[in-house]
Amino acid sequence: MRAERRRTTGDTSDAGTPEPPVVAMQGIGKRFDSLIALDGVHFDVRDGEIHGLLGEIPKSTSRPARRLIFSWCAARRSARRPRRRVRAESWCGARGWYREPRSPCGQAIADQRREEACGSVSDIEQDEVEILRVHREWWASNVGLDVGRMRACFAPQYLMWNLNGHPYYGLDEKVALFRYYQQHMVPTDPPELWDIRVMVEGDMAYLTSEGILPITVTSDEGSGSSLVDAMAPRYERRGDEVLFRFRETSVFRRDDGAGRQVWRIWHFHCSPLAPEDEPRPCFGDTARERGRLGTLETMG
């Protein structure tokens, strides 16, 4: 891609030091798998200039044009303040992908774009604290199957892939499942989790962990799940409790499904974790040999 430029005003070659650019685009990159649409594109825009963007494919011109529009809007909003350099940040990871910038709102534009693309450290830390709080509340609600406490952690359109191997669609089905298990299989002690990892990206995040859910089967019918009933004898026991090992992935959005920008769980996937002494295929090591990663946390 190349940029062609002409001025709508007179020649300013002898007018002294040129005015700082209204918009400066530097290092813009974008690729789609093996197709490189943009590679290190940069140019400046000053008052009275017109830029023409030419490229072999539509994406090579539409992407920088979109960056330019974002920056122009930001400059318009900043018109009453001293003019500052505008930079559309590019962010290329191992696979060369780009995080779309957002329109800035009142902060230095370059800093705002960087923070909204990557997140400032303080913002990410605050998000992680809130996500971990919601996550802890969710697992704590399993003790005695507290429906009210559980409801506060999930969006109404929530999707669950349950430990029992079945899907549940929406919060109402999850509430019904809790009430079903109150008659069949009740977690009696707080779950214990380890290796809790959180990744925040804008208004979405995911969390992974491994853990133990102490459960007591209270019905002669068993748990109602052939998967749970088949795995339970393979785990250690503590009296009447089965120490059911699991792994989870939870997807969070900064959206409660009712218009408020608060973190809620939108998807939860939980599945049985191999017994501690079972060798891992290909490598032959066991969970007991590897040990637990991170701090063991009791979700009470």
- Closest C-alpha among 281, 274, 254 to residue 265: 254
Q: Which amino acid is at 177?
A: L
Q: What angle do CA 68, 204, 114 make, to 5 degrees?
A: 35
pLDDT score of 15: 53
**Spatial separation of the C-alpha atoms in residues 241 and 135, rounded to whole Å:** 23
Look up residue 186 and give its amino acid: V
Query: Can you tell me the distance from the alpha carbon of 181 to that of 224, in angstroms, rounded to the nearest whole number?
Result: 9
Q: How confident is the model at residue 68 (pLDDT cuts 50, 70, 90)?
A: low
User: CA 72, CA 88: separation in Å to the nearest integer?
Assistant: 11
Averaged pLDDT, 57-77: 51
Confidence of residue 19 (pLDDT cuts 50, 70, 90): confident
pLDDT for 219 equals 81
pLDDT for position 45: 76
The confidence score (pLDDT) of residue 61 equals: 54
pLDDT over 70 percentage in the chain: 64
For residue 273, give Cα distances in angstroms to 165, 199, 212, 246, 248.
13, 22, 9, 4, 9
Q: For the stretch 255-266, what's the b/e string if a residue is b when 16 or more beta carbons lie within 10 angstroms of its beta carbon?
A: bbeeeeeebbbb
* Mean pLDDT, residues 130-159 taken together: 96
- By DSSP bridging, strand 87-88 and strand 23-32 are parallel
Whole-angstrom distance, CA of residue 143 vs CA of residue 212:
13
User: Residue 41: what pLDDT?
Assistant: 72
- C-alpha–C-alpha distance, residues 210 and 250, integer Å: 12
Q: For the chain, what percent of residues have pLDDT higher than 90?
A: 51
Task: Look at residue 90 in the predicted model and tell me its pLDDT.
Answer: 33
Q: Identify the structural domains of the chain with CATH numbers, from first to last.
A: 2-118 (no CATH), 121-298 (3.10.450.50)
End-to-end CA distance of the chain: 57
Give the start-end residues of each E strand in 116-224. 154-161, 167-169, 185-187, 192-201, 204-217
pLDDT value of residue 275: 96
Q: Which residue has the higher pLDDT, 70 or 246?
A: 246
Check residue 3 and give its pLDDT.
45
3-state secondary structure of 79: coil
